[in-house]
Amino acid sequence: MSLRRQTALASLIVILTGALWGLYWIPVRRLDGLLPGAWGSLLIVALATLLLTPFAVVHRRRLRAADPLSLAAIALGGAAFVMYSIGLVHGRVANVILLFYLTPVWSTLIARLGLGWPTPWPRYAAIGVGLAGLVLVLGDDGALPWPRGVGDWLGLASGLLWALASTGIRLRGETTGALAGNAVFCAGATLAAGALALWLPSRPPLPAASEWPALIGWALAAGGLWWALSLSALLWATSRLEPARLGILLMSEVLIGVLSAALLAGEPFGLRTGLGALLVIAAALLELWPAPRTGHDARRP
């Protein structure tokens, strides 16, 4: 497959994955009613890891031969996504999604300050626009525009970690294969979810026997469809797209997630949040401005 076709296919996969993840809050919140806090997300990613382990075993030689930093970047990506998952049950869906999607801002700063890649002025403008959107989203109720509560902080941290992880995957390449690589991704998520489940003040009792079918059903649906299947496709696409472009294409999640939460969960969506969302999206669109190519960024498309 030509590079152009790979890029087009990767872009389509990312758009569809983003749209699917815009509805991820539904199984997570249903599961939260049965197994509250981080424990529900821990069950989801543990089951996803279990589903993907056979592929890791089959491709164990590729995993052994893989660049350790690439594997670390993949595992860090899993940690970022599970922080996002846990944030959805501790905060407003719109806030968590929009805070996560400041990723292009962090990707630009990492590319410029950490890697020395040239950055045209529209990308500096993107940083300002994205941060302005952040101020509006966090100050929606007229309070100080600062992350409030666990959900906001997890959303913000997950976007930063995903920017680091996607940059690392892009630089080091993904040679493990999508399914085996996703096993590493979900294993990283499981470790992070376990640590957060123990750290966050939530010790839920075991569900009643009558609740176990629904518990396992929702966890398998989320772990199988969202984590095992869609993220295997996303991992394949991540190694073929520039991190900033990846963040832009995933913006389909913003539209689906924010609108679905307002319509189905009755979450408030005021004017300031709406304007903040538009600014965050505008910041991502500014990332489309091409940077001049140099020897430092030969791997960039």
Per-residue pLDDT of 251-280, as tens digits, reads: 788 888 888 988 888 887 777 777 877 887
Distance CA 126, CA 276 (A): 13
pLDDT at 40: 93
At 254, list the tokens. 């913003």
Count the residues in the chain.
301
pLDDT at 298: 38
Are 249 and 70 a contacting pair, CB within 8 Å? no
Question: What percent of the chain shows pLDDT beyond 70?
Answer: 84
Residue 301 has pLDDT above 60, yes or no: no
pLDDT at 295: 42
Question: In sequence order, what DSSP letters do the residues of 103-160 get, joined into one string?
Answer: HHHHHHHIIIIIT-----HHHHHHHHHHHHHHHHHHTTTSS-SS--HHHHHHHHHHHH
Distance CA 50, CA 224 (A): 10
Q: Whole domain around residue 222: which residue ranges? A: 3-297
At 217, list the tokens. 């059903």
Q: How far is CA 166 from the centre of its chain?
A: 10
Residue bearing the bigger pLDDT, 131 or 199: 199
Confidence band (pLDDT; 50, 70, 90) for 6? confident
Tens of pLDDT, residue by residue over 113-132, are 776 766 677 677 777 887 78
Confidence band (pLDDT; 50, 70, 90) for 195? very high
User: Which element (helix H / strand E) includes 163?
Assistant: helix 149-172
Once rounded to an integer, what is the mean pLDDT over residues 98-114?
77
Residue 141 has pLDDT above 70, yes or no: no
Tens of pLDDT, residue by residue over 15-71, are 899 899 999 999 999 999 898 889 999 999 999 999 999 999 998 888 888 888 889
Give the count of domains, the chain: 1
Residue 286 has pLDDT above 80, yes or no: no
Residue 247 has pLDDT above 90, yes or no: no
Confidence band (pLDDT; 50, 70, 90) for 290? low
Residue 2 has pLDDT above 60, yes or no: yes
Region label for 116, one of left (φ > 0), alpha (ψ between -120 and 50) or beta (otherwise):
left
Distance CA 39, CA 203 (A): 8
pLDDT at 173: 62
pLDDT at 72: 92
Residue 154 has pLDDT above 80, yes or no: yes
What mean pLDDT value characterizes the chain?
82
Once rounded to an integer, what is the mean pLDDT over residues 123-144?
73
